[in-house]
Amino acid sequence: MPYFCLIRLHKMTQLTRNIYNMKNNTLLKGTLLSTAMMASAALLAQPLVQQINDGWKFKQARLSNWYPATVPGVIHTDLMDNDLLDDPFYRLNERGAQWVDKEDWIYETTFQITPEMLNQQHILLDCKGLDTYADVYLNDSLIIQADNMFREWQAPIKKLATEGQNTLRVYFHSPIKHDLGKFDALNYQYFASNDQSENGGIFDKRVSVFARKAGYHYGWDWGPRLVTSGIWRPISVVGWSDAYVDDIYYKQPDVTASRAKLDAQIQIQADHAIPDAMLTITDMTTHKVLAKKHIDIASGHQVLSLPFTIHHPKLWWTNGLGQAHRYNFQAQLAVGDDILDVKQNKIGVRSLKVVSEKDKDGTSFYFELNGHPVFAKGANYIPQDNFLTRVTPADYKKTIMSAVEANMNMLRVWGGGIYENDLFYDLCDEHGILVWQDFMFACSMYPAEGALLENIRQEAIDNVVRLRNHPSIAIWCGNNECQDAWYNWGWQSKYKAQSQAIADTVWAQFCNQYYDVLPEVVATYAPETKYWPSSPFAGKGHGSNDHDGDRHYWDVWHGEKPISQYNVERARFFSEYGFQSFPEFVSIKKYAPEAKDWDIRSEVMMAHQRGGEHANGLIETYMLNEYHRPADFKRFLYVNHVLQGDAIKTAIESHRRDMPYCMGTLFWQINDCWPVASWASRDYYGRWKAQHYFTRKAYKDILVSPYAKDGHLNIYVVSDRLKSFRGILKIQVMTFDGQVVSEETKRVHVPANGSHILADYDVKALLQDTPESDVFVYATLTDDHKAQYDNVYVMLKQKEMHYPDVKLSYEVKEIADTTAITQSMDTASHHYTITVHAPVFARAVHLMVDDVKSFFADNYFDILPGQSRTIRLSTNLPLDQVQSSLVVESL
Q: Average pLDDT for residues 349-377, to the nearest whole number?
A: 98
For 130, 583, 609, the CA distances from 387, given in Å and listed in that order, are 14, 20, 19
End-to-end CA distance of the chain: 67
**Cα–Cα nearest to 134, from 58, 242, 203:** 58
Alpha-carbon distance of 357 to 547, in angstroms, equals 12
| Statement: residue 750 has pLDDT above 80 | yes
Question: Can you give the pLDDT at residue 824?
Answer: 66
The domain at 702-800 falls in which architecture? Sandwich (2.60)
Stretch 400-413: mean pLDDT, rounded?
98
Confidence of residue 31 (pLDDT cuts 50, 70, 90): very low
Q: Lowest-confidence range among 33-37, 98-102, 349-353, 786-790?
A: 33-37
pLDDT tops 90 at residue 103 = yes
Please state the rounded mean pLDDT for residues 453-482.
98
Q: What one-character-per-residue DSSP string does 480-537 give?
A: BSHHHHHHTSSHHHHHHHH-HHHHHHHHHHHHIIIIIIHHHHHHHH-TTSEEESSBSB
Angle of helix 393-405 versus helix 422-431 axis, rounded to 10: 30
Q: Where are the alpha helices (DSSP H) in 671-761?
A: 690-698
d(CA 515, CA 291): 38
With a cut of 70, say whether residue 9 has pLDDT above it.
Answer: no
Residue 687 has pLDDT above 70, yes or no: yes
Instruction: State which CATH number among 3.90.1150.10, 3.40.50.300, 3.20.20.80, 3.90.650.10 fits the domain covering 376-488+531-692.
Output: 3.20.20.80
Q: Can you tell me the mean pLDDT for 79-103?
A: 98
Q: What's residue 819's pLDDT?
A: 77
Could you tell me what percent of the chain has a pLDDT over 70?
95
If you ran DSSP here, which 8-state letter would residue 565 be given? G
| Cα–Cα distance for residue pair 242/774, rounded to 1 Å | 81
Coil/strand/helix, residue 348: coil
- Look up residue 785 and give its DSSP letter: T
Domain ranges of the chain: 23-238, 376-488+531-692, 702-800, 809-889
- What is the amino acid identity at position 845? V
pLDDT at 826: 66
* Distance, CA of 66 to CA of 169 (rounded, Å): 13
Phi, psi of 253 (to 5 degrees): -70, -25
In the chain, helix, strand, coil percent, each to 5? 25, 35, 40
User: Could you give the angle at the alpha carbon of 881 between the alpha carbons of 878 and 887, nearest 5°?
Assistant: 125
pLDDT at 549: 98
Sequence letter at residue 226: L
C-alpha angle with apex 300: 337 to 31, nearest 5 degrees? 60
Strand partners, 174: none
Q: From CA 780, how far away is CA 791, in angstroms rounded?
A: 7
The rounded distance, in Å, linking the Cα atoms of 860 and 342 is 51
Q: What are phi and psi of 302, to 5 degrees?
A: -145, 155
pTM for this structure? 0.94
Average pLDDT, the chain: 93
Mean pLDDT computed over 528-545: 97
Give residue 36's pLDDT band: very low, low, confident or very high (50, 70, 90).
Answer: very low
Q: What is the pLDDT of residue 828?
A: 85
Residue 801's pLDDT is 97
Average pLDDT of the segment spanning 6-29: 37
Q: Per-residue pLDDT for 169 more than 60?
A: yes
pLDDT at 219: 97
Q: What is the pLDDT of residue 825?
A: 67
Same fold across 376-488+531-692 and 809-889:
no
CA distances to 38, 50, 51, 109, 587 from 33, rounded to whole Å, are 9, 6, 8, 20, 42
Say whether pLDDT at 13 is over 60. Answer: no
Strand-pair category, 574-576 with 551-552? parallel
pLDDT confidence bin for 821, thresholds 50/70/90: confident
Task: Please list, in sequence order, all residues whose beta carbon lies within 8 angstroms of the beta carbon of residue 782, skipping any fewer than 6 positions away.
Answer: 727, 728, 730, 788, 789
Alpha-helical (H) ranges within 714-816 are 763-767
Q: Are 730 and 743 in contact (CB under 8 A)?
A: yes
CATH class in words for 23-238: mainly beta
Under DSSP, is residue 397 helix (H, G, I), strand (E, B) or coil? helix
**Closest to 830 (Cα-Cα) out of 871, 888, 878:** 878
Q: pLDDT-derived band of residue 47, with 50, 70 and 90 as boundaries?
A: confident
On the question of pLDDT at 42 being above 70, the answer is no
pLDDT beyond 80 at 229: yes
In the three-class reduction of DSSP (H, G, I as helix; E, B as strand; rest coil), residue 186 is classed as coil
Is the pLDDT at 6 greater than 50, yes or no? no
Q: CATH code for 809-889?
A: 2.60.40.10
Query: For residues 35, 37, 43 and 47, what is the CA-based torsion angle, rounded to 10 degrees?
Result: 0
Instruction: State how far the Cα of 808 lies from the Cα of 890, in Å rounded to an integer.
Output: 8
659-671 average pLDDT score: 98
pLDDT of residue 45: 54
Cis bond upstream, residue 68 (ω within 30): no
